[in-house]
Structure 1
Amino acid sequence: MQKYNSIPNIIFDFGGVLMNIDPQKAVDSFQQIGLEDVRLIKSEYQKNGLFDKLEKGISSADQFRFEIRKHISRKVSDEEIDLAWNSMLLDLPFERLELLKQLKKSHRLFLLSNTNIIHWTAYMRKIKETHGVCLSDFFENDYYSHNMGLRKPDPKIYSTVLEMEGLVAGDTLFIDDMIANVEGARSVGMKAHFLDLENGETVLDLFERS
C-alpha cells in the first residue's frame, strides 16, 4: 500500500476517516422515535434537501428539528431528535489522534468535513470528555461545511481551502471515505486517497510511523 509521508500538506475528512460513524444507526434511531419513511433520510441528502441545507448552514438546528417533526406523528423533544441524529457518531480511536500528533511535527495538517452544528457540538464534546483534547488543536485550521456554505464534492470547497491556506494543489493530499469527495478533490488538481473502509482500510495504513 502506498505511503504518503512525503506529501507536505494533508487535508483529512472527519467522519469515517478519523471518527468512526454508522449512518444506519441514525436511520434506526429516527425510526424508533416515529419517523416512518426512512427513505426521507437518504433523499434529503440530495441538493437542497433537509440534510444538505443543514450541512451548508442554510438551515439552523431549530429549522432542522421543525422539519423532522413534520414526518413524526407523535410529539418529540429537541433532545430526542438530537440523540437520534447523533447516534451515528461512534468513537475516535486514540491511535488516530496519535497519528495526527506525529504528522503535525513535519506536515501542514487541515480538516475538511461535511457536518452540521448538531453533530459538531456533539462530537467536540465527546472528544473532550473521552480524550481531554480539542480536535482543532491537531490542525492548522479546520473547515466545516456548515460554516462555509459549501459541501463536498463541490470543487469550490476544495479550491477555497487551497486559496485560504496558500496551498499548492499538487503538494496537497486529501483523504476521504467517499469516492465522490475524492474525485472532487482531484478535479482541482489535488492528490487524493479513497479510504476503503469496507475492505478494512484505516487512515493508520497510509503513513509510516515511528
Structure 2
Amino acid sequence: MHRPTWPPLRVVLLDADGVLQRRRPGLVRSLLKLGGPRFLADAMRAEVGCLTGERDFPDALAQAMRRHRVQAYPADVAQGWLDIVVDPRRLELVDAVRARGVRVALATNQHRFRGLHMREVLRLDEHFDAAYYSFELGAAKPDAGYFTRVLDDLGEPPETVLFVDDLPDNVRAARSLGIDARLHLWRTGVTGLRRTLASRL
C-alpha cells in the first residue's frame, strides 16, 4: 500500500484516554450496581453531552441519577470519573520527543470536571507544550472543528502534524483534514506507542 511522503514533523498530538492513561477498572461495574444498564447508558450520555463545555458534568450526572432514582450522593459517584491511571513510561516518551525539538500537545475530549483534575491534580499539562481540552475549545473529536481550531492555534499545516488516538472515528476525521493520524491500541503498550512515534521522527 502506498504511503505518503510526509514533510519534517513539527508537532505530535496525543490523545489522553487510551493512549497515555486509562480509567481504573470498576467504573462501569459500580454504575451498573447503582442503577442498572439504563442508568449506565444515561450517565455515559451525560458525559458526552458535557465534552464541549456547555454543561457541567456533576450537574448532568445528578440529573441522570434523579431520573433513575439512584440513591447515592452525586459528588461521590462523580469521583469515579477521576480515578485515572497514567502510564509514566508513556509520559517519558512524550518528554523524549520534546527533547528532540518536536512540539508535543495533548489533544483530548474531556468535560471540565475531569479535565481540570487532569491539569491541576495529575499535572498532566506539564509534560506538553500545549493542551487542547474539548471543553475549552467548544468542540469535541471527531468534529472537524476540533482539529481546525487546534491547527489554527498551532500555526502549522496539517501535513507537519502527527496525531495518535485510540478511536477510529477520531483518526478518520483527522486524516480527512490532511493530518497524519495513527490508531493506537492500548494493548500494544509503550512499545507500540514508541514505534508509532519513531515512524515520523
Task: Please give the range of the TM-score, normalised by the shorter of the 2 chains.
Answer: 0.7 to 0.9
Match of 2:87 among 74, 82, 93: 93
> What is the aligned partner in structure 2 of residue 143 from structure 1?
132
- The question of 1:110 aligning with 2:87 is answered no
> What is the aligned partner in structure 2 of residue 131 from structure 1?
none
TM-score normalised by L of structure 2: 0.82
Alignment check: 8 A CA contact 1:13 1:112 kept: yes
Deviation per residue, 1:85-125 (Å, 9 max, x gap): 334x3x21221111111111220111110111222244345
Give me the whole-angstrom Cα distance separating, in 1, the residues matched to 2:31 and 2:120.
22
Give me the whole-angstrom Cα distance separating, in 2, the residues matched to 1:82 and 1:188.
35
Counterparts in 2 of 1:171 and 1:181: CA distance versus 1, 3 Å: same
Match of 1:56 among 52, 74, 98: 52
1:126, CA displacement in angstroms?
A: 5.3
- SS of the equivalent of 1:207 reads helix
Counterparts in 2 of 1:21 and 1:36: CA distance versus 1, 3 Å: closer
Identity %: 21
Give me the whole-angstrom Cα distance separating, in 1, the residues matched to 2:151 and 2:197.
22
Q: RMSD of aligned C-alpha atoms?
A: 2.5
- The question of 1:159 aligning with 2:124 is answered no
> What is the aligned partner in structure 2 of residue 14 from structure 1?
16
5+ residue gaps, structure 1: 45-49, 128-133
Larger helix fraction of residues: 2
